[in-house]
């Protein structure tokens, strides 16, 4: 799966991570012991710290590995907060589909109809194309300096507007194929969806996410921070690779991500959100089916919702997100009996997608 603002650079000067004591796992839970070994393996492979939560019908298992802050022995807070990156897209997509259910928007409405004059040839691009990343619009992230560039770090507290970033993207030509035909992940799509929500409701997308999702589900540790650079409450520290080694990038202005990835949450809240979403508590069945339908049959991505097929044949729905110094994954079985959420602070030595997906697989199939 494509993740927002993927850091592709490996930090060659990163210091060794001091492993914190692993959370105790009862001897009668060999599957949990195996999961703990996998968490420890992620730290050994390329993370400063990792935290996970596995829920089933009988219990909730939470554990961590690594440290909350480099060059310390402080353990990762087991219920700590973290930036969720593109999992924000699933929250926003849920709001958009609720507006569709209310008759205030249609999936086949064009961008030109809702945001006249904003996107060239906007009459060819629909709300559905934005949701499933088949619009062909250029990704604004490609216009930004690389995270290893000093210019990127210099802008860590800068406030970006969606209009500014959309204009940067539109300065580049769209993909050469017709909208709706090919999956091409672009964060620009969700900046536009954020503007569409505001145009339709008269409120910011953040306000609508809070009113429609966060408050009804009582996601007390989930936030849409806007321009606030801090992560409130217990949290692991996040880092970016530079020529001088890893730099603390915990504090940063999340307007860099905006509607495409600015949110903060916890493993508990994300598990609750995806259980409610996949379980039909936020959308009626027809719209949930739309959310599960890919625009490109070759991809595992529908309308802001992704999925994995496990080795035991059970499909899980959710999303993953990359917020530069934080990475997160959260998935739920369709029947709602199991949820798995993993978050980590990478040290950028390796791509950890496969290792985390292996944890999801083990948690679901054990």
Give one DSSP letter per residue of 195-226, joined into a string. HHHHHHHSS-HHHHHIIIIITTTT-TT-B--T
- Which of 85, 62, 52, 67 has its CA nearest to residue 327? 85
| End-to-end CA gap in the chain | 24
- Bridge partners (DSSP) of residue 318 are 306, 331
- Which of 116, 39, 47, 82 has its CA nearest to residue 262? 82
Burial of 146 (0-12, 13-18, 19+ CB in 10 A): exposed
110 by DSSP, 3-state: which? strand
123 by DSSP, 3-state: which? helix
Instruction: Determine if residue 50 is left, alpha or beta; phi over 0 gives left, psi from -120 to 50 gives alpha, anything else beta.
Output: beta
- Tokens of residue 67, six digits: 């440290």
Residues involved in catalysis: 86
Please list, residue by residue across 14-37, b when 16 or more beta carbons sit within 10 angstroms of its beta carbon and e when fewer do. Answer: beebeebebbebeeeeeebeebbe
Contacts of 53 (CB under 8 A, 6+ apart): 60, 61, 62, 267, 268, 271, 339, 340, 341
**What distance in Å separates the CA atoms of residue 138 and residue 98, rounded to the nearest whole number?**
27
DSSP label at 193?
H
**What distance in Å separates the CA atoms of residue 212 and residue 221, rounded to the nearest whole number?**
16
**What distance in Å separates the CA atoms of residue 159 and residue 18, rounded to the nearest whole number?**
35
């Amino acid at each position: 799966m494509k993740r927002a603002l993927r850091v592709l650079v490996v930090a060659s000067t990163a210091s060794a991570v001091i492993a914190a004591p692993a959370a105790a796992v009862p001897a009668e839970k060999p599957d949990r012991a195996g999961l703990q070994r996998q968490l420890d393996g992620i730290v050994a492979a390329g993370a400063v710290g990792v935290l996970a939560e596995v829920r089933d019908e009988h219990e909730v298992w939470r554990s961590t590995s690594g440290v909350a802050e480099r060059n310390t022995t402080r353990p990762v807070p087991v219920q700590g907060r973290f930036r969720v990156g593109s999992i924000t897209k699933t929250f926003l997509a849920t709001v958009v589909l609720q507006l569709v259910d209310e008759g205030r928007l249609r999936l086949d409405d064009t961008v030109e109809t809702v945001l006249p004059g904003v996107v060239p040839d906007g009459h060819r691009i629909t709300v559905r194309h934005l949701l499933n990343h088949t619009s062909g619009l250029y990704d604004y992230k490609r216009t930004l300096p690389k995270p290893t560039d000093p210019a990127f770090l210099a802008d860590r507290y800068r406030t970006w507007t969606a209009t500014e970033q959309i204009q940067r993207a539109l300065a580049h030509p769209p993909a050469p194929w017709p909208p709706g035909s090919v999956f091409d992940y672009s964060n620009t799509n969700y900046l536009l969806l954020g503007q569409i929500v505001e145009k339709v409701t008269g409120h910011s997308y953040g306000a609508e996410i809070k009113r429609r999702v966060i408050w009804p589900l009582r996601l007390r540790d989930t936030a849409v921070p806007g321009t606030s650079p801090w992560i409130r409450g217990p949290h692991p520290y996040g880092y970016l690779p530079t020529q001088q080694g890893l730099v603390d990038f915990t504090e940063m202005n999340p307007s860099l991500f905006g509607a495409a990835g600015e949110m903060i949450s916890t493993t508990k809240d994300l598990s609750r959100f995806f259980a409610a979403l996949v379980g039909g508590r936020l959308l009626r069945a027809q719209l949930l089916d739309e959310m599960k339908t890919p625009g490109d049959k070759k991809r595992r991505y529908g309308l802001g919702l992704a999925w994995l097929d496990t080795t035991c044949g059970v499909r899980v729905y959710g999303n993953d997100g990359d917020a530069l110094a934080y990475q997160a994954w959260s998935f739920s079985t369709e029947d709602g009996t199991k949820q798995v959420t993993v978050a980590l602070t990478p040290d950028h030595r390796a791509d950890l997608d496969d290792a985390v997906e292996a944890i999801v697989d083990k948690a679901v199939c054990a």
